[in-house]
A and B are shown apart, each in its own frame.
Chain A
């Protein structure tokens, strides 16, 4: 145990030292450095940075755990969080890069020629990004509380401080280079244990193939068939067919995550940092390569973790583990309160079943699965330490990217763009840093009471982005006539209905006790869960915008000309030209 602690400290502190060093080396000197890294990042570097930026604690810590317990239903995360890049590469990134501005609200301001549109976009962006950061903070809290054996709140505080140092110092330039390092740490931390576990269980070192292979115990049974059998024997739903609240809900959930990915401002901002329109297209591809490396491994991690967990508790059907003989990882997670056992029938053994009256594993927090996975599989301590460093890298890199999106939208769009246009570059930079500090404090506070598992919370953020920002951007490029009034009405309607549907169940801004559901179920609208509602919100956004357009008339001629110019690559203006 002491060896593990030592390795963990070494892994965490050496990676943190690396991030700080990079942030210092690449610190921002100008607003252009601060917001778009001076526009000079190669597609592969940018792809890795997008990967780190975007693969958050939700992807790293939470997703495989959710898949482990949802089975086939977990596919919504896998397809949803990768399919959005297809939309980005084809529908948004190249045209927005051509237009060449710093921020998403700035693009919206130009395209919709309206300060109101800019302010509405800033509001949507802040709501979606803050929700997203809460999910990261949950991940940071879980990782620190377990590995540094500190309280959840203190873990959160340390994480906030680290992000503050390098995000405020480095801006986009520092964040981009730090994220490249974080991507590398993250991907090794994720795949190394997966390779070990896949080897142990199936003899195949490639997890993507191991998941489709037979078990190495000589039985000749396929791993997935074995898992299906083990879970159905205990009354759980069959792993490979368990669908998440029905086909319609899964459909809406996947769609919501896809268009949310394409509408998240901190991801879109990344495409402003590449040198050309062609580079914007290929960046999306490189980003997805970097992301797919983790995402195709995740289903193997989930299924293998579930199988290992089940077989630890019940090695042979009917022979349950004695509670007194439980392994060390079990005890460690019990002390965090995220794993709880209650000996209901008093036989001293652990029964884990789907039936709530006899199930004795009364709490198995999904978010612990990836972190506990190497220990469950008896992997060496340095692997476990590596996973801790990877989880923190994931959470911190995403939090930094989101904070940058929030601070730029307030200092650049709200203050410089609307309130005090004659602000100097120096004071804008200062304002950006102050706003970032405040945003860290607020998100840390909200992170103390997260509304759900990290991945679930993050899914809500995607729904909010899907229902507001994505439709406005897409219509701005693909409809020459779309007017400012119509876009504003669409954004307000889209995010409005989504927020109503989410908050009626989860509470206003997720503050407990403010939900106003009444006697309706949380998924009263055709069985679509709040996390999946962004797709409906986006439809409302499109619908309202086109109806309002009919009544208020099209955009003026100079805007139509601007849209036509956006569609043709031609000579791009550098993002720092104003």
Chain B
């Protein structure tokens, strides 16, 4: 397989992992699983409520920077930096 194609495949795998987490914290923990999670507490927050109004946003932030860092490494590895 050509180098460019490999680079793209690795990028796609990374995107897939990130978006799976993205979906899980927001739609999963914040929406679909909110009722069972609300049985647990984080201080005064019900846990599901916390994920919907706070936790998912922190997770999004982590994801973007993590993806950016991984991609910078990948750019170096394949020598395609701009």
Contacts and interface: CB of A to CB of B under 8 A. Distances in A.
B36 interface: no
Most chain A beta carbons < 10 A, residue from B4, B49, B53: B53
Contact of A277 (B43, B46, B82): B82
Interface stretch (A150-158, A431-439, A520-528, A562-570): A562-570
B57 A568 contact: no
Contact of A570 (B19, B22, B71, B82): B82
A214 B53 contact: no
Contact of B60 (A72, A85, A98, A223): A85
Contacts of B22: 83, 86
Interface in B44-68: 44-46, 49-50, 52-54, 56-58, 60-61, 63-65, 67-68
A222 interface: yes
Given A247-B32, A250-B31, A251-B27, A240 B49 contact: yes
A254 B31 contact: yes
Given A278-B72, A299-B54, A85 B64 contact: yes
Nearest to B65: A285
Contacts of A299: 53-54
Nearest to B7: A568
Q: How large is the interface on B (under 10, 10 to 19, 20 to 34, 35 or more residues)?
A: 35 or more
Contact of A295 (B8, B35, B49, B57): B57
A378 to B, nearest CB: 23
Q: Is the interface of B mostly helix, strand, loop or mixed?
A: helix
Nearest to A281: B68
Contacts of B34: 72
A305 B27 CA distance: 27
Interface string B22-41: 10001100111011001000
Contacts of B71: 94, 278, 281
A252 to B, nearest CB: 11
A227 B60 CA distance: 28
Q: Give the 9 A-B residue pairs with the shortest CB-CB distance, closest first.
A: A222-B44, A75-B52, A212-B43, A299-B53, A285-B64, A212-B44, A281-B68, A212-B45, A569-B82
Interface of B: 4, 7-8, 11, 15, 18-19, 22, 26-27, 30-32, 34-35, 38, 42-46, 49-50, 52-54, 56-58, 60-61, 63-65, 67-68, 71-72, 75, 80-82
Given A78-B56, A222-B43, 11 more contacts: A75-B30, A75-B49, A78-B52, A86-B19, A86-B64, A90-B15, A90-B18, A211-B45, A214-B44, A299-B54, A568-B4
